[in-house]
Chains A and B, each alone.
Chain A
Amino acid sequence: MTLMRRVCVAILVLAVLGFGRNLVMASPQGPPPQGPPPNASPGSPAERLTPDDIAMGKQLFAANCASCHGVDASGQLGPNLHGVVQRLGEQGVFGIVRNGRGGMPPVSSINDRRVWQVVGYVRTLGETGPVEAATGDPEKGKAVYEANGCSACHTIGTTGGGVGPQLTTIGRSRAPKYLHAFLLDPGKTPPPDMTLPERAGNTGYLLVHVVTKDGHEMTGIRVNEDTFELTLRDVGGHFYTYDKSKLKTIEAEPGKSVMPSYSNLSATDLDNLVAYLSSLKGGQ
């Protein structure tokens, strides 16, 4: 249950709910009441906030953002946010919150001032520097990556396999701490399902074990499931679609992963591998 909760997309839900879905239409735009005008500097929106605003931003973050970005915003399912305001600018981050990006849903359920409070809180995180920088050697880590056959399943740039997620920009989206923990126990914090928009919020890379009524067994990564059918994918990339009425058992195996644990690596190799992955920011 905890696992499932963790992988759930954080959805700031709306009022909307009254009328329809949980994800929401664009919120009416306009300047916040006491809020500052856009692009004002000095005294930009997030800078003008009071300590009380920052405290509220922290609470809002904990309630609405932490389930994906981590309690300390160092990244979990969503990216590490330390320094994101400094890198993308206040308006940039404000826009991402409002419009969504990648697997992140647009947040339109809170007013502009609340968004600025969250942005202001996240800004303070960047001012103190990253929570934890990777300590290893990226060059040596690259060798570890290659020696362990990671590219059989993962693609960096244009090279590698397609069983696991692409890692080209993994350094932007995952903090070293998360990567370290993930390499030791990949099933513990599986990434969210990003394959299809309609599957947003589902557990990604969920292993499912099925037994057909005639005794055939199969374990694969869940690609799709509805009331009547289940589609699994094996590590060879083959898809298997089952009529659920012909299955004897269907067992999800949360906590397990098709990716092996790399706890066999030495501490140094692991640190170097994490440093290499953290250096992957794409577009360079």
Chain B
Amino acid sequence: MRTARYILALLALCFAVPSFAQVPYERLKDAAKEPDNWLTYGGNYSSQRFSGLKQITPENVANLRVAWAYQMRGGGVMESSPIIVDGIMYVTEPPSNVTAIDARTGKPLWHYVPQVPRDFVPIGLFPTNRGVAVLDDKVILATIDDHLIALDAKSGVVRWNSVIADRMDGYAITQAPLAINGKIVVGVGGGEAGAHGFLSCFDAKDGKLLWKTYTVPRSASDPGADTWANGSWSNGGGTTWNTGSYDPELNLIYWGTGNPAPDWNGEGRVGDNLFTCAMIALDAETGAMKWYFQFTPHETHDWDAAEPPILLDASINGKPRKLLVQANRNAFYYVLDRTNGQFITGVPFAKQTWAKGLDAKGRPITFPASQIEPSVEGTLVYPSLTGGINWTSPCYSPLTGLFYVNARDGFAYYIKGEPKMAPGNSVGIIGGGGGGGRMSGPDETTTWIRALVATTGEKKWEYKMIGDSWTGVLATAGGLVFSADAAGNFFALDANTGAPLWHLLLGSSVRSNPVSYAVDGRQYVADSAGNTLFVFSLP
């Protein structure tokens, strides 16, 4: 009798506490249908970073105020894009820690710290983390030292821990994994450390490896090996360091790849260097490459193609098309057919001085090498090493049909160095590869929020910021676009006109992607500045 009453009480407790709900694949697939939650890194599988919430509007955004703030336990700068599930937020802190927070009040619920070797210093990247994935009852984290760890969403305890790569080979991971149907897909960073890029897929149940697909040849007989002179594919490159997208109907995973190695000096790797600086489409079941599109063949300026691919369906010349669009670090905006990788159109979205344009197949028509290739004394080229855009996410509003991007007009003096590579070791590497560059200073760099017609890249409006902003962009159904400038002003623009409507100085630079969610009927907007996550709502 007493036992029965106890069980009843426990059951009642279960019903009274709706938090830590399950997130089956179906919820992720239909994430756009539940705008109260932010279930994947990019907001949905299409990485649109569009919130369907419309409580906050151009009319009332001036009343936005801080609802709560969370300061990270350690130092560093927060770059995490929070995941929000049914009132619980999961956010990461450098180097690879996870905190669960009550998304309504900001109260921490649990904190997980993986064991990262203290002597581990990744090459060519900051030891940070940009977010987690959720699937069923698990929160999945990729660590800086290349582990994929599944945590129990309720308690933060480890359910499984798999090794993605060997850190001694130069691999390091900062990205959020991508959870699909029963699987976790994750890429790797380390393109400046001689790492060979690949995407791998793990069983969400137990963390067993299901498939692993390299983005660069591993032997002379591999596809693309003939695009690397003298076996130079062995240098590696083509890392997959930013989170990709997924089309459940086509069952294709889309991921951008990074620079060939060594960077800034292509003399030893004549050829297109496939499949670096490309978009690749992989079959989610097998990892087989369905198609690729290389944005920057034989890349020599560190213009990785790791920027998020945004998937959208729209009409081109009167025909409905399944599109993949990307604002590439090389300063061009591309529109591709995501069923086959066919190039549809491409135009610059940021200042560039390296290509006259793109040909009918999307291949760049470059200016003479003497004007654009890195040199010992330095060659002035736009965009800079950080690119027309870097890792921060643009967004797409299906309501306006506009693609919103934080675009950078800046230059670098590109310097050529010695092309020596030794995986996992900086010895022999200059400039993290084959050179480096001196970049335009803050007074010489301009960043903009630019709104492009998503199907053409035509500029609809632009909003000028001061300094070198490193913030993603969020669009909402309320008709707003959120982002931040270099000084840390978090602001809202009118999504249709770009008119500034509201801003608040957060006191440190903002280096993350804003998100929006709702709990108990109240819409929140979240973004971090410095080591603090700020969450805003109407009074």
Contact = CB atoms under 8 A, between A and B. Distances in A.
Interface of A: 4-5, 7-22, 25-28, 30, 32-33, 59, 62-64, 67, 109-111, 114, 198-199, 201-203, 206, 224-228, 245
Contacts of A20: 79, 125-126, 128, 390-391, 470, 511
Given A63-B376, A201-B441, A202-B442, A19 B125 contact: yes
A16 B432 contact: yes
B400 to A, nearest CB: 22
Contact of A226 (B192, B415, B438, B487): B487
A227 B466 contact: yes
Contacts of B124: 14-16, 18-19
Interface stretch (B33-41, B98-106, B285-293, B421-429): B421-429
Contact of B413 (A9, A63, A225): A63
23 contacts: A12-B431, A12-B436, A12-B438, A13-B412, A13-B439, A14-B436, A15-B192, A17-B385, A18-B302, A18-B304, A19-B189, A22-B439, A27-B426, A30-B426, A64-B415, A67-B438, A198-B509, A226-B466, A226-B485, A226-B487, A227-B465, A227-B466, A227-B485
Contact of A110 (B302, B430, B466): B430
B64 interface: no
A93 to B, nearest CB: 19
B498 interface: no
A111 B428 contact: yes
B308 interface: no
Contacts of B486: 226
Interface in B478-498: 485-489, 491
Nearest to B418: A114
B377 A203 contact: no
A245 B466 CA distance: 14
A227 B487 contact: yes
Interface string B444-482: 100000000000000000001111001000000000000
Contact of A18 (B259, B429, B467): B259
Nearest to B491: A227
B51 to A, nearest CB: 23
Interface string B336-358: 00000000000000000000000
A110 B491 contact: no
B188 to A, nearest CB: 12
B413 A11 contact: no
Interface residues of chain A: helix, strand, loop or mixed (majority): loop
A7 B432 contact: no
Given A4-B444, A9-B441, A14-B436, 11 more contacts: A10-B438, A14-B432, A15-B302, A16-B192, A17-B390, A25-B127, A27-B426, A62-B377, A63-B415, A225-B466, A226-B488
B123 interface: yes
A245 B191 CA distance: 43
B189 A13 contact: no
Contact of A15 (B123, B127, B427, B439): B123
A12 B441 CA distance: 12
A4 B428 contact: no
B312 interface: no
A222 to B, nearest CB: 10
Contacts of A109: 430-432, 436
B258 interface: yes
Interface in B269-321: 302, 304, 306
A225 B505 CA distance: 12
A62 B376 CA distance: 9
Contacts of B87: none
Interface of B: 79, 121, 123-128, 174, 189, 191-192, 241, 258-259, 263, 302, 304, 306, 376-378, 385-387, 390-391, 412-413, 415, 417, 425-433, 436-444, 464-467, 470, 485-489, 491, 500, 503, 505, 509, 511
B193 to A, nearest CB: 8
B489 A227 contact: yes
Contact of B439 (A11, A63, A226): A11
B440 A13 contact: no
A111 B426 contact: yes
A27 B259 CA distance: 20
Nearest to A3: B443
A189 B279 CA distance: 45
A72 B485 CA distance: 38
Given A226-B487, A226-B489, A201 B443 contact: yes
Contacts of B443: 4, 7-8, 201-203, 206
A12 B174 CA distance: 23
B376 A14 contact: no
Contacts of B385: 13-14, 17, 22
Nearest to A199: B442
A199 B465 CA distance: 15
B504 to A, nearest CB: 10
A12 B412 CA distance: 10
A18 B427 contact: no
A70 B476 CA distance: 50
Contacts of B438: 8, 10-13, 63-64, 67
A18 B241 contact: yes
B144 to A, nearest CB: 11
Contacts of B433: 15
Nearest to A5: B444
Contact of B440 (A8, A15, A28): A8
Nearest to B445: A201
Nearest to A30: B427
Contacts of B444: 4-5, 8
A13 B301 CA distance: 12
Contacts of A225: 466
A13 B464 contact: no
B386 A22 contact: yes
Contacts of B432: 14-16, 109
A161 to B, nearest CB: 26
A228 B509 contact: no
B150 to A, nearest CB: 24
Contact of B430 (A9, A13, A114, A202): A114
B286 to A, nearest CB: 29
Given A12-B431, A199-B442, A28 B121 contact: yes
Contacts of A9: 441
Contact of B386 (A5, A17, A28, A245): A17
Given A111-B426, A227-B491, A28 B391 contact: no
Contacts of A10: 438
Contacts of A59: 376-377
Contacts of B128: 19-20
Contacts of A27: 121, 123, 426
